[in-house]
Amino acid sequence: MNCPNLNLNSGFAVAILVAQVLLVQILQLPYRIYFSGDSVMRILGFSGGLSVPSKTHGLVNAIVERFATRAKVEAEVIDLAQVATGFGGALYRQHLPSELKSVLERIEAADVLVVASPVYRAAYPGLFKHVFDLVERDALEGKAVILAANGGSAHHALILESHLRPLFNSLGSFTVPTGIYSQSSDFDGYYLSNPSVLERVDVAINEVLRLQRGLIPAVAKSEPEGAFV
């Protein structure tokens, strides 16, 4: 006796299995393939350090430079230290001069953000937070963000999960799973040189490239308006 429903279900199960196998094989291909052609990503690095030069800048710069070897990008790095005074005197966006409004507009226009903060008293600097408080609501929604931080020792690595990820999740951004933490001993001067940290940089870049090709769902949950007072 024939069972059409059983045959149909079996065929569907086989199709699902084949699709899963193909997906695994695709994910194992070099990520450069995923972002080919003429597409150009706008990468903006934001260094939250309050001095120049700084290891925080070196961390951001290393990530942006390695990104540029993996895909076609237009990249720039903004240092908080160079714009901090102007932002510190502005309570609201409309108080900013045009050159500082341009900083916010460039942040908002980026396809991918590479954001790094030094660790000050177990958190990011207040001015770092203030800059992102002035970003237009929903301007960063769904955008990929690589989170990074630099501290004096490994004891402060939790800043990535306790401060940076909640901040950018609240903005609706997609923060890739791999965060990058560096400490003073990871640098040769201001140049990031620790191979294990650079390996994490490459993993985070791979996650962004997967996301940009739709291989990771770009769904970022933000708090409902009014959820927190």
All structural domains of the chain, each given as residue ranges with its CATH number in brackets, are 44-212 (3.40.50.360)
What's the pLDDT tens digit per position in 80-118?
A: 999 999 999 999 999 999 999 999 999 999 999 999 999
Does this model's pTM top 0.85? My answer is no
Q: Is residue 162 within 8 Å of residue 129, measured between CB atoms?
A: no
Answer whether residue 200 shows pLDDT above 90: yes
Q: Is residue 43 within 8 Å of residue 212, measured between CB atoms?
A: no
Mean pLDDT of 37-43: 80
State residue 26's pLDDT score: 38
Mean pLDDT of 43-64: 97
Q: Cα–Cα distances in Å, from 9 out to 13, 165, 202?
A: 6, 42, 41
State residue 9's pLDDT score: 56
Q: Where are the beta strands (DSSP E) in the chain?
A: 41-47, 73-79, 112-118, 144-151, 174-175, 180-183, 187-188, 191-192
State residue 213's pLDDT score: 77
Sign of torsion over alpha carbons 140, 179, 159, 193 = negative
State residue 4's pLDDT score: 53
What's the pLDDT tens digit per position in 16-35?
A: 554 544 443 433 433 333 34
State residue 46's pLDDT score: 99
Mean pLDDT of 146-169: 96
Lowest-confidence pick of 41-55, 131-145, 205-219: 205-219
Lowest-confidence pick of 127-131, 146-150, 174-178, 223-227: 223-227
State residue 227's pLDDT score: 36
What is the percent of the chain with per-residue pLDDT over 70, rounded to a whole number?
76
CA separation for the pair 219, 181 (Å, rounded): 24
pLDDT band at 10 (very low <50, low <70, confident <90, very high): low
CA separation for the pair 130, 104 (Å, rounded): 11
State residue 207's pLDDT score: 97
Mean pLDDT of 47-56: 95
State residue 215's pLDDT score: 52
Answer whether residue 65 shows pLDDT above 50: yes
